[in-house]
Amino acid sequence: MDIPAVSDSSWTESVRPKFHGSARAMFPVVLKGLFLTIITLGIYRFWYMTNVRRFLWNNTEVDGDFLEYTGRGVELFIGFLIAVAVLVPFYAMLFLAPLYMGAEAAAVAQGLYGFALLLLAQYALYRARRYRLTRTIWRGVRFQQSGSGWGYAWRSLLWLILTVLTLGLAYPWMRAGLERYKMTNTWYGDQQGAFSATGGQLFWRTLLVWLAALVVIGGPIAFVAGMEATGNIGAASPAHALILVSVIGFIVLVPVYWAVEFRWWANGCSVGPAAAACDLGNFAFFKVYLGYLGVALLFGLVVGAIGLGIGFALHSGGVLEGMAAQARPPVVFFVAFGAFYFLVGLVFAALWQVFGVRPIWRKSFESCEIRGLGALMAAQSVTPEANAFGEGIADAIDFGGF
C-alpha cells in the first residue's frame, strides 16, 4: 500500500478519545436484556452481552470516528454449545473418578483435571480476546490477533508457577511478559502492536499499594488468626473491628491497584506509530466502585423491604403457619424462591453494567491521549475473523471477565 506523506506534526499531535454513552441511554439496552434473559431462562444472555458491547464500542469516539462492534449473539451461543460439548469429558472424569478409582488415584486424576482446566482457561482468555479484536473496526479497518492460544496458555502457567514460588514477587514481570506477548500479536490492519512497559516499572509503581495491603489487610487477618489460635477471641475482642478494617482496606486498595496497573499498561501500549499516554487518577476506579456500591445498597434495601412486606403478608394470612405445620414445604415455595434469587442476581448484574462497566470504560478511554494517530495508516487485514470458541469456553467454566 502506498502511504501518503504526513507532516511531522501528525506524529506529535495528541487525540483524546470520547465516550458518549450515558446511563439513560444504556438503561433500555440493559432492561431489555434483563427481561429477555429472564423469560428465556438465561439463553438470551449471549445477545444481551453482544448488545452491551455494541453500546460501549459504538459510543466510543476516536479522532472523530466511532469504534464498531460487529460480533453477534448467535456466535457466542454456538461457541458456548461447542465449548460445553468439549468440556463434558472433563466434568465426567471429575464426577466418575472417586467412584471407580481409589482415593489416591482419584486425587491424582482430579489434580490433573484442575491443571488441564487452568491451562484451558488461559487458552480461552487468549482466544476470547482474539474474537473481540476481530469484531472491532475503526475507520473501516479491522483489528486482529495472531499468535498461539496454547503458547499463551503455557506461558501463563509457567509464569503462575514462578509467581507462586516467589510468593507473588514475580507477578509484575508475569504481567509484563504476558501483555508483551498479547500486544506484539495485536494488529490494526497491517500495523503491528508493541508493549514497552516493564515488570520493574510495575513493581515500583505498585509497591506502596502492596505495602499498604500488607499492613491494612494482612496485618488484621494475621492478628485475628493469632487470637483464634490462642482462644482469646471473645465478645469484647477487637477481632470484629479488625475484620471490618481488612474489608474496607480491600475495597479501597484493590481498585487503586487496578488504576495504577491500568495506567502502567496503557502507557506501554502502541500500534504502529500511535502510542498512548494515560493520566488516570489513582482513585478513579475506586469512585466508580463506590458509586456502584451505593446504588447496589439502595437496591438491596428496596429488595429487603419488599421481602419483609411479602413475609408479613404471608404471616398475616396464615400461610407461613400452614407451611410450618407440613413435614416438607411445597415445591412452589422453592420455585418462587429460586426465581426471586435469579431475578435479584440479574438486576445486580444489570446495575453493574450501567454503574460499573460503563463508567470504567469511559474513564479508561478518556484518560488516554493517543499520539501519532495521524501517522497511523493501515491496510485492511485479509486474515479471517476468529470464531467464538474461546469465548464459549471462558463462559462455560465461568472464567474471565466481560
Condensed to tens digits (0 to 9), the pLDDT of residues 247-258 reads: 888 888 999 999
Q: Going by C-beta distance under 8 Å and a sequence separation of 6 or more, which residues neighbour residue 194?
A: 183, 184, 269, 270, 271
Contact 397, 124 (CB under 8 A): yes
The mean pLDDT value for 158-185 works out to 95
CA distance 252 to 350: 23
Q: Look at residues 383, 380, 4 and name the one whose alpha carbon lies nearest to residue 189.
A: 380
For residues 14 and 369, the answer to whether their CB atoms sit within 8 Å is yes
Residue 141 to residue 65: CA distance in whole angstroms: 12
Q: What is the pLDDT of residue 3?
A: 45
Average pLDDT over residues 344-358: 88
Check if the beta carbon of residue 91 is closer than 8 Å to that of residue 114. Answer: no
pLDDT tens digit string along 209-249? 988 888 887 777 777 666 666 666 555 556 667 777 788 88
Dist CA 400 CA 142 (whole Å): 24
pTM summary value: 0.83
Element housing 186 (H / E): strand 186-188
Percent of the chain clearing pLDDT 90 (strictly above): 47
Euclidean distance between CA atoms 394 and 223, whole angstroms: 38
Distance CA 189, CA 140 (A): 10
Contact 75, 387 (CB under 8 A): yes
Q: Is the pLDDT of residue 202 over 90?
A: yes
Average pLDDT across the chain, whole number: 83
- Distances from the Cα of 341 to the Cα of 72, 123, 302, 307, 345, angstroms: 29, 32, 14, 11, 6
Q: What is the mean pLDDT of residues 326-347?
A: 70
Return the pLDDT at 382.
66
The answer to whether residue 324 scores a pLDDT higher than 70 is no
The candidate with the shortest Cα–Cα distance to 262, out of 333, 363, 166, 177, is: 363
User: How much is the CA Rg of the chain, to the nearest whole Å?
Assistant: 25
Closest CA to 124 of 90, 87, 91: 87
Phi, psi of 276, deg, nearest 5? -100, 150
CA distance 199 to 261: 11
Q: Report the distance separating Cα 268 and Cα 275, nearest Å.
A: 8
**What is the rounded average pLDDT of the residues 154-160?**
94
365 to 309, 344, 345: CA distances (angstroms): 44, 31, 29
Give the pLDDT confidence score for residue 2 in this predicted structure. Answer: 45
The length of the chain, given as a count of residues: 402
For residue 185, give the amino acid letter.
N
Q: What is the pLDDT of residue 155?
A: 95
Cell 470520547 sits at which residue? 18
Question: 215, 205, 130, 146: which is closest to 171 by C-alpha?
Answer: 205
When mean pLDDT is compared across 243-247, 310-314, 344-348, 370-374, the lowest value belongs to 310-314
Average pLDDT, integer, range 125-129: 91
